[in-house]
Amino acid sequence: MKVLGQQIVEMTSPLPDNQGKSAIQVIAEADLPVKASLRIARLMKELLAEAQILDHERVKLVRKFGAVDPKTGNISVPEDRMLEFRVEWQKALDSEISIGKDAVNLTDKDIEGLRIAPRVIMLLDPAVTFGE
């Protein structure tokens, strides 16, 4: 299955309304049957690895376009280079990335009794299907 870098970032980034857990973490911590839980765990492992690669690329871009603050030693992208940074970062986010073979399907039986926020379902949509 192919997903965009942006979708990986969204699936693995902390959600403010879920105690800082990402959408994939919310599902991974749910009380799922063993078989479904294993499929989600494998997917989570792949997503987190790809998210780490994307973050590494983001840091490289910050270093490329950024400047060091002499007072703090922190690197940030100055306003006059921000457009260049955003264009390059968007290329990474728009790239197609292969993960797993197929989306993980969680059947109605797998998720019976679980309360899953619609936002979590929407964020996971490229990689996890729900129902049926």
Residue 33 and residue 110 in contact, taking contact as beta carbons nearer than 8 Å: yes
Give the DSSP H or E segment for 33.
none
What mean pLDDT value characterizes the chain? 93
The pLDDT score that the predictor gives to residue 78 is 94
The pLDDT score that the predictor gives to residue 17 is 82
For residue 25, give the amino acid letter: Q
Structure tokens at 90: 């968007």
Q: Is the pLDDT of residue 132 over 80?
A: no
Q: Is the pLDDT of residue 80 over 90?
A: yes
List, as one string, the DSSP characters of 75-132. EE--HHHHHHHHHHHHHHHHSEEE-SSSPEEE-HHHHTT----HHHHHHHTTTEEE--
Give the pLDDT confidence of 6-62 residue by residue, as tens digits: 999 999 999 988 788 999 999 999 999 999 999 999 999 999 999 999 999 999 999
Confidence of residue 95 (pLDDT cuts 50, 70, 90): very high
Q: Pairing state of beta strands 104-106 and 128-130?
A: parallel
